[in-house]
Amino acid sequence: MNPVKIAVLVSGGGTNLQALIDAEKSGILTSGKISLVLSNKEGAYALERAKNANIETAVVTKAACGSQEAFEAKIKETLTAHGIEIIILAGFMSILSEEFTSAYPKKILNVHPSLIPSFCGKGFYGLHVHEAALAYGVKVTGATVHFVNEIPDGGEIILQKAVEIKEGDTPEILQRRVMEEAEWKLLPAAAEKVCADILKNQ
């Protein structure tokens, strides 16, 4: 049985993409194969990571498309052309409309750097999440992989992992620990779980 074709959508450095590439190499991710890396930013370093791993890349920018509708239509067209079956958002800094997400029910995964429902939703991304966790004084944070629906960070949870907050943590130190201890482990595990389920139900 052929592995499920995965597209990873990126905007930046692609550390979560690298975790997925490494998981495929090491045999953690076997039910799915990264077949496309699509960026909404020209020159995103994640594209280099994809090229180094011999994965096809595409760039679709909102500026070039002119509107959100045209931008999403172009992404859909690109995904279809590559026979993509599931989408993983790995630091993709563009909110996708309900029209887009509803076209892929339970087929879009996202990793969020907190234990949802804490510190999630509109405005909670990147360092903002870790700043909020530290400001609130929580003792435990973590990461969540969830399905994407029309509500930001509102889809069904697939996997979560807790990460301890330590004395003297800064948002940057905490961000790094959450990536290393949770995000980079959870995302490949969740991708494998979802792809394995798809194969099982085929």
179-195 average pLDDT score: 98
| Residue located via tokens 């045209």 | 70
Q: Is the pLDDT of residue 127 over 90?
A: yes
DSSP E strands: which ranges in 42-199?
A: 57-59, 86-89, 108-112, 140-147, 157-164
Confidence of residue 88 (pLDDT cuts 50, 70, 90): very high
Percentages of the chain per state (helix, strand, coil), in multiples of 5: 40, 20, 40
Q: How confident is the model at residue 122 (pLDDT cuts 50, 70, 90)?
A: confident
Active site includes 146?
Answer: no
Which CATH architecture best describes the domain 4-200?
Answer: 3-Layer(aba) Sandwich (3.40)
User: Which of these, 90, 110, 177, 187, lies nearest to 142 by C-alpha position?
Assistant: 177
The answer to whether residue 152 scores a pLDDT higher than 90 is: no
Average pLDDT over residues 39-58: 97
Q: Pick the catalytic residue: 82, 112, 128, 146? A: 112
pLDDT of residue 49: 98
Domains of the chain, by residue range, sit at 4-200
The model carries a pTM of 0.95
pLDDT at 3 > cutoff 90? yes
